[in-house]
Amino acid sequence: MTVAPAKGAGLGGLAAAPVRQLAPYVIGKPIGELQRELGVDDVIKLASNENPLGPSPRAIAAMQQSLADIWLYPDGNGHELKQALALHHGVLPSQVTLGNGSNDLLVMLAEAFLTPATSAVYSQHAFAIYGIVVQATGARAKITPAYPEGHAMQMGHDLTAMLAAIDDSTRVVFIANPNNPTGTWNTTAQIRQFLQAVPPTVIVALDEAYFEYSRRVDCPDGTALLQAHPNLVVLRTFSKAHALAGVRVGYGLSHPEVADMLNRVRQPFNVTIPALAGAEAAIGDAQQVHSAIRLVEDGLQQLQAALPQLGIRLYPTAGNFVLADVGSGSAIYERLLRQGVIVRPVAGYGLPHCVRITIGTAAQNDRLIQSLATAMQGKQDS
């Protein structure tokens, strides 16, 4: 049977119906874009949870050396990086799947396990990419309410509600731990209890993009749970603490049978030669990660001391960012842009009163605080 394209939609009508209905992911405003739009030269970006310290010197050296080989295709299997990750995490190389950032793994999971006849579960306020990859497959999204105001982990994933939403059609559950943009997290006991209760026919994608920063709270290491739960997939990235966001490399750890399915839909050569080299070198530099963690701990104290004095509520966070209630996220965002400070409005996550702020260097945090003082004063005067 031939299915006619949507009428009156032009060439876009040829696309699959779920794709036509998608709203594209909105990225944090690039520095160059702000410079072009407003003519602001001195810009700091605290919008995309990047690590301002930059990558490990080892990673930079490895990437520079790898440039001699960029006329070649990368190792499509990423053998050396897989071996290094397997050794680092105490798993088999056959349990590792490499991605063009961890977002790539989210796409693979959806393509491998979701169809229009299935469903996926994720929480309100969860990372926006979950909804995009689910909708692109035509699967049904089952979005559960987050913890309400007054709860100790307000806006966090209510795992009891997520468990109740699972039915016979459910194939994947997405859990961000910690979650972006709220900074909320689920404890070790909560995650263990959830995994024990989830049917073995449901894949649990535990997204740990901010894992390194979550060590200051009771946020579990999902890799320690892999052996007991074959349906668990743990996602990690080199974009955050390792500061390799620009070369795009992430990975998934799972049961070999799950990894085999992911590798069947994985695009060939999806991780570049510089990314493979930089990531492998970054694994061995614990000092670089320690420095990133210390920067965030110091910066968080800096913001927690100053922002409440401006009438700004900060929510608890286990990431390298804070969710800040500024009254009107869009208004404060625009005022900060005119001062050359880029943060992230989060109205698209159902949080119009908030902005998400990446924790930067001490100097960047100082400038943010000063700019927020001006922006919040403008709010009072308007």
Residue 18 covered by a domain? no
Q: What CATH number did the domain enclosing 367 receive? A: 3.90.1150.10
Indicate if 38 and 82 belong to the same structural domain. no
Indicate if 43 and 91 belong to the same structural domain. no
List of residues 6+ apart from 317 with CB closer than 8 A: 178, 183, 184, 300, 323
pTM of the model: 0.92
Determine the pLDDT at residue 382.
52
Give residue 180's pLDDT band: very low, low, confident or very high (50, 70, 90): very high
Indicate if 79 and 227 belong to the same structural domain. yes
Indicate if 34 and 66 belong to the same structural domain. no
Indicate if 223 and 355 belong to the same structural domain. no
Indicate if 135 and 232 belong to the same structural domain. yes
Of 251, 269, 284, the last residue of a domain is 284
Indicate if 292 and 248 belong to the same structural domain. no
Indicate if 77 and 182 belong to the same structural domain. yes
Lowest mean pLDDT, pick from 20-34, 35-49, 60-74, 276-290: 20-34
Give residue 6's pLDDT band: very low, low, confident or very high (50, 70, 90): low
Give residue 7's pLDDT band: very low, low, confident or very high (50, 70, 90): low
| Residue labelled with tokens 């209905």 | 21
Of 226, 258, 284, the last residue of a domain is 284
Of 262, 284, 306, the last residue of a domain is 284
Residue 319 phi, psi dihedral angles, 5° rounding: -110, -165
Indicate if 280 and 292 belong to the same structural domain. no
Residue 32 has pLDDT above 90, yes or no: no
Residue 5 covered by a domain? no
Using DSSP, state whether 278 is helix, strand or coil: helix
- CB contact at 8 A, 214 and 184: no
Q: Are strands 321-325 and 354-358 parallel, antiparallel or unpaired?
A: antiparallel
Indicate if 72 and 162 belong to the same structural domain. yes
Where in the sequence is the domain holding 346, given as residue range(s)? 27-54+287-381
Give residue 3's pLDDT band: very low, low, confident or very high (50, 70, 90): low
Of 245, 243, 236, 192, give the one whose Cα is nearest residue 214: 236
Provide the domain count of the chain. 2
Average pLDDT, whole number, for the chain?
Answer: 94
| Residue labelled with tokens 């005119």 | 338
| Residue labelled with tokens 């995009």 | 132
Distance set, CA 90 to CA 64, 214, 234, 301 (Å)? 29, 20, 13, 34
Q: How far apart are CA 246 and CA 102, in angstroms?
A: 13
Of 102, 65, 80, 95, give the one whose Cα is nearest residue 283: 80
Residue 15 covered by a domain? no
Residue 17 covered by a domain? no
Residue 295 has pLDDT above 60, yes or no: yes
Residue 1 has pLDDT above 50, yes or no: no
Residue 99 covered by a domain? yes
Residue 107 has pLDDT above 50, yes or no: yes
Residue 272 covered by a domain? yes
Indicate if 262 and 309 belong to the same structural domain. no
Indicate if 107 and 237 belong to the same structural domain. yes
